[in-house]
Amino acid sequence: MYNSWLNIENKVVIVTGGASGIGKAIAQEYLNNGANVIVCDMNPKEPEFVLNENSGKSTYVLTDVTNSQSINNMVEIVKQKFGKIDILINNAGINIPRLLVDANEPKGKYELDEITWDKVVNVNFKGVFLCSQAVAREMVKQKSGVIINISSESGLEGSEGQSVYAATKNAVNSLTRSWAKELGKLGIRVVGVAPGILEATGLRTIEYETALAYTRNITVDELRAGYNKTSTTPLGRSGKLTEVADLVCYLGSERASYIHGVTYNIAGGKTRG
Ligand SMILES: NC(=O)c1ccc[n+]([C@@H]2O[C@H](COP(=O)([O-])OP(=O)(O)OC[C@H]3O[C@@H](n4cnc5c(N)ncnc54)[C@H](O)[C@@H]3O)[C@@H](O)[C@H]2O)c1
């Protein structure tokens, strides 16, 4: 049995970046609750979900959130198949740790360059704009809908070695606040969710950890030891993907009908990037 307390059965939910990590966990939780989920991702490998007779239906649409044509195509498919869009989760994101200036190796491998800047900004920031605009056009006609932007705790305070990533996330928090002002009167809620350190996802590759450790002048082992320290995260553990998914399902539901224009930190008490 799904949990009808949320009452999101038969809702139509788009999850960008839903083939992996947090997005996949969010998609699974919506499916568990009887919602129909359109998973959009660049990954050619379709994700597998655990389904039973009460689960919603999942549809996979290959989508590049940096490409408006690809997004319009996805929205068209959703409209034709379901005739409405209730919830958009802007979750697709990437993180490439770099220093503004590498004092030990100027213009070296781990110094921020324009290509890295553009890549991260395009997915994490422009992608949120393009997907939200395409979907909000439909929500405005319906006079209803919820947009949920997946941000990051690092966006609140900045983060050593992750300046461009943190900047895109803070920029997304700003979009959440502004779009709430524009869209609230049209019947659309806009909220954000900012997770802290979570159990490993596709984002935490060895390249990512090596680069982040370098930028902080520590070893990868020292970086990993920090994931579960109370000095980093007061609750002393990484967050579970299901804990983020539960919050996102709640925020998308009518139970959260007066929550608008804010970004929820879900980080075990961590507040310093
Ligand atoms: N993992 C964490 O600890 C953490 C913490 C805070 C915030 N976040 C945010 O959560 C979101 C999900 O991250 P994750 O940790 O699950 O990472 P992940 O790498 O497991 O998942 C991200 C997904 O986005 C997809 N993607 C990347 N570029 C895309 C594009 N152009 N178009 C469509 N899909 C694209 C990837 O293929 C991947 O499936 C991101 O926005 C990330 O910044 C993650």
* Residue-wise pLDDT tens digits, 50-82: 999 999 999 999 999 999 999 999 999 999 999
Instruction: Please tell me the distance between residue 208's alpha carbon and the centre of ligand 1 in angstroms.
Output: 13
pLDDT for 3 equals: 53
Instruction: For each of the domains in the chain, give its residue range(s) and CATH number, in order of start.
Output: 12-203+241-265 (3.40.50.720)
Instruction: Please tell me the distance between residue 92's alpha carbon and the centre of ligand 1 in angstroms.
Output: 5
Instruction: Please tell me the distance between residue 203's alpha carbon and the centre of ligand 1 in angstroms.
Output: 6
Quick one: how far is CA 148 from the chain centroid? 8
* Global model pTM greater than 0.75: yes
Instruction: Compute the Cα dihedral for 205, 209, 211, 212 and give only its sign.
Output: positive
Supply the residue whose CA is at minimum distance from atom 2 of ligand 1: 198
| Number of C-beta neighbours around residue 257 at 10 A | 9
* Residue-wise pLDDT tens digits, 30-49: 999 999 999 999 999 999 99
* Residue-wise pLDDT tens digits, 223-252: 999 999 998 899 999 999 999 999 999 999
- Ligand 1 lined by 91 (C-beta under 6 Å): yes
DSSP, collapsed to helix, strand or coil, labels residue 221 as helix
